[in-house]
Chain A
Amino acid sequence: MVSLNTAIVIKLEPDFSEGNVSYNSDGTLNRAETKSILGPHSAVASKAAFYSKVKYGARISVGTMGPPIADYALQQAQLICDADELHLYSDRIFAGADTLATAEVLKTGIGKMEGGKMDIVFSGHRASDGETGQTGPQTAWKLGYTFLGNVIDYDIDLEKRTVIAKRLITLQGFYDIIEEVEAPLPAFITVDPSYKPAFNTVSQRLAFVKYQKEANERAQSYKKYLKVFNAQQLGVDPKFVGLPGSPTIVYKVEKIPKAKASRKAEVVDASDRGQIAKVVTRIHEILGGIVIK
């Protein structure tokens, strides 16, 4: 079998689903009360890697930087992608890292994955809490891999060792563009949220079922696949990680001042049926009276 080594970098993030997310009365996130899970974009990246497993028999390693509880995100990712290896990079000196310092840890971690040299690394489009979308491309650059962002579909040419990917490009004031590119491996792909894998052949569907079953079994005893690295075990220079390795700092956090009212609202009491009827008449006037199909 032709070998293909893939890695995924993922993140433990606040769970924004109703019932799990908790907001303060001022509309800001209550982090203490909100549970953490595998981030939704990380889950999409895991699905994209699983596609490689089903289609090309790829080996999958998953890595994350975070506190010890981030192993939960690794387990959830393994459940999706049937990972062969899980890496947790965890050290107090990593805390407070900005994207550049995080990328330094992830780059070093990927270098320690068992498959040796990677062919493709996947990451999510952006974290749903930090939302910078910078960590993926910065890790790619440090690894020296070709970076492809917003990928909605991909296939590998195993003989040519290239990836053919479709990318979604959305630009202000222009129609969206789907760009098809071919790039040599190794490549680093951030997966667009709209990515959906398609398994078209019978053998793919059989492989899908087989690996999904295996993923279930593996995730139940995920610790067998887990390796935890601190800074020393990773061999990173403390100057380049955590707060010392972060060019940026958060200087202040403030409530966004309430903007001046842009309009003067007329308040309508919903329980007054006559008022609502007037609203509807108004709607007709606004829309030119002949809106309704």
Chain B
Amino acid sequence: MIPLSWYMALAAILFAIGTYGFLIRRNIIIMMLSIELMLNAVNINMVAMSHYLDSLTGHVFTLFIITVAAAEAAIGLGLIIVLFRNKKSVYVDQINELKG
């Protein structure tokens, strides 16, 4: 059996990649994908721990996270489309009206 620490390391690496992508990339859609990557890192963590601890809580939590992530993606894409209609851009560098 693969030890728990491997899963946790995988999750930590994925989470770090997601964080890096969110901070570095300038395209809003890629930033959103990075958030999804971070959430899936959490899911891996949860499921692995749930299996290891022999408790169902982690499984249930993962299902909730997947559901909420779907809702979040729907709303996020909707907001991005509205923004794109007005700005004709999805690059955060060009979306800088609010500052000060």
Partners in one complex: no
Chain B residues proximal to chain A, CB less than 8 Å: none
